[in-house]
Structure 1
Amino acid sequence: MSEVSPRVAVVGGGWAGCAAAVELTQRGAQVTLYEAARTLGGRARAVDINGRRLDNGQHILLGAYGESLRLMREVGIAPESALLRLPLQMRYPAGPEGMDFVAPRLPAPLHLAIALLRARGLDRADRLALARFSTTARWMGWRLYNDCSVDELLQRFEQTERLIRLMWRPLCIAALNTPPERASAQVFLSVLRDSLGARRSASDMLVPRLDLSELFPARAAAWLCERGGRVEHGAAVDTLQRHEGGWLLRGERYDAVVLAVQPAAAAALIDDLAPSPLPAFEWEAITTVYLQYENGLRLPHPLLALLDDPETGRFGQFVFDRGQLDADRAGLLAVVISASGAALQLGRNALAASAATQLAEAFAMPQLAQPEWNAVISEKRATFACTPGLARPGNDIGIPGLALAGDYTASEYPATLESAVRSGVAAARILL
Structure 2
Amino acid sequence: MCAARSSLSVAVVGGGWAGCAAAAELARAGCTVALFEAARALGGRARAVEVEGHTLDNGQHIMLGAYIETLRMLRLVGVDPAAGLLRLPLQMRYPEASGGMDFVAPRLPAPWHMLVALLRAKGLERADKLALARFTTSARWMGWQLNVDCSVAELLERFDQTERLVRLMWRPLCLAALNTPIEHASAKVFLAVLRDSLGARRAASDMLLPRQNLGALFPAAAAGYVQRSGGAVHTGERIEGLTRDADGWKLLPGGQRFDAVVLTTPPYQAARLLAGLPEAQPLAEQLNGFSYEPITTCYLQYAPGLRLPLPFCALQDDPVAGHYGQFVFDRGQLDAGHAGLLSVVVSAARDASGLDQQALATAVAAQLAAALGDPSLATPVWSRVITEKRATFACTPGLVRPANETPLPGLVVAGDYTASDYPATLESAVRSARAAATAILSYRALPRKKRSLSQTDGGAGGPSVQ
Match of residue 10, structure 1, among 4, 9, 12 = 12
- Aligned pair 1:301/2:310, yes or no? yes
Q: Structure 1 residue 373: deviation in Å? A: 0.4
Residue correspondence of structure 1 range 53-92 to structure 2 within 5 A: 53-92=55-94
In structure 1, the residue corresponding to 2:36 is in which secondary structure?
strand
Residue 161 of structure 1: aligned partner: 163
Q: Which has the larger radius of gyration?
A: 2
Residue correspondence of structure 1 range 251-330 to structure 2 within 5 A: 251-271=255-275, 272=277, 273-274=279-280, 276-278=282-284, 279=286, 280-330=289-339
Q: Structure 1 residue 49: deviation in Å? A: 3.0
- Can you give the 5+ residue segments of structure 2 that lack an aligned partner in the other structure? 442-466
Task: Give CA-to-partner distance per residue, 1:337-384, whole Å, 9 cap, x none.
Answer: 000111122210000000000000000100000000001011000000
Q: Distance in 1 between matches of 2:301 and 2:7?
A: 50
Q: Structure 1 residue 52: deviation in Å? A: 2.5
Match of residue 48, structure 1, among 29, 50, 62 = 50
In structure 2, the residue corresponding to 1:274 is in which secondary structure?
helix
Task: Name the TM-score, length of structure 1 as normaliser.
Answer: 0.98
Residue 366 of structure 1: aligned partner: 375
Residue 242 of structure 2: aligned partner: 240
Contact persistence 2:299–2:383 (CA under 8 A)? yes
Residue 456 of structure 2: aligned partner: none
Residue 107 of structure 1: aligned partner: 109
Q: Distance in 2 between matches of 1:388 and 1:58?
A: 26
Q: Which amino acid aligns with 1:376?
A: V
Contact persistence 1:90–1:101 (CA under 8 A)? yes
Contact persistence 1:243–1:253 (CA under 8 A)? no
Q: Which amino acid aligns with 2:435?
A: A
Contact persistence 1:256–1:402 (CA under 8 A)? yes
Q: Structure 1 residue 96: deviation in Å? A: 5.8
Contact persistence 2:283–2:406 (CA under 8 A)? no
Contact persistence 1:150–1:180 (CA under 8 A)? yes
Residue correspondence of structure 1 range 20-35 to structure 2 within 5 A: 20-35=22-37
Q: Distance in 1 between matches of 2:269 and 2:6?
A: 30
Q: Which amino acid aligns with 2:194?
A: L
Q: Structure 1 residue 243: deviation in Å? A: 2.8
Q: Which amino acid aligns with 2:184?
A: R
Task: Give CA-to-partner distance per residue, 1:206-234, whole Å, 9 cap, x none.
Answer: 00001000110011001111111000011
Contact persistence 2:274–2:281 (CA under 8 A)? no
- Aligned pair 1:387/2:396, yes or no? yes
Q: Distance in 1 between matches of 2:347 and 2:11?
A: 33
Contact persistence 1:96–1:121 (CA under 8 A)? no
Q: Structure 1 residue 264: deviation in Å? A: 1.3
Residue correspondence of structure 1 range 180-191 to structure 2 within 5 A: 180-191=182-193
Task: Give CA-to-partner distance per residue, 1:8-29, whole Å, 9 cap, x none.
Answer: 0000000000010011011110
Q: Structure 1 residue 265: deviation in Å? A: 1.3
My pick for the range that moved more, 95-104 or 268-277, is 268-277
Q: Distance in 1 between matches of 2:193 and 2:272?
A: 32
Match of residue 417, structure 1, among 426, 441, 459 = 426
Residue 94 of structure 1: aligned partner: 96
In structure 2, the residue corresponding to 1:159 is in which secondary structure?
coil
Q: Which amino acid aligns with 2:231?
A: G
Task: Give CA-to-partner distance per residue, 1:394-432, whole Å, 9 cap, x none.
Answer: 000221101000100001100000000111111011011
Q: Distance in 1 between matches of 2:306 and 2:154?
A: 41
Task: Give CA-to-partner distance per residue, 1:109-154, whole Å, 9 cap, x none.
Answer: 1000000000000010000000000000000000101000000000
CA RMSD of aligned residues (A): 1.0
Q: Which amino acid aligns with 1:74?
A: L
Q: Which structure has more RCO (C-alpha within 8 Å, separation ≥ 6)?
A: 1
Task: Name the TM-score, length of structure 2 as normaliser.
Answer: 0.91
Contact persistence 2:326–2:344 (CA under 8 A)? yes
Contact persistence 2:297–2:343 (CA under 8 A)? yes
Task: Give CA-to-partner distance per residue, 1:253-307, whole Å, 9 cap, x none.
Answer: 1000000001111112123231623321111000000000001100010010000
- Aligned pair 1:428/2:437, yes or no? yes
Residue 216 of structure 1: aligned partner: 218
Q: May I ask how many residue pairs the two structures share in their alignment? A: 430
Contact persistence 1:284–1:380 (CA under 8 A)? yes
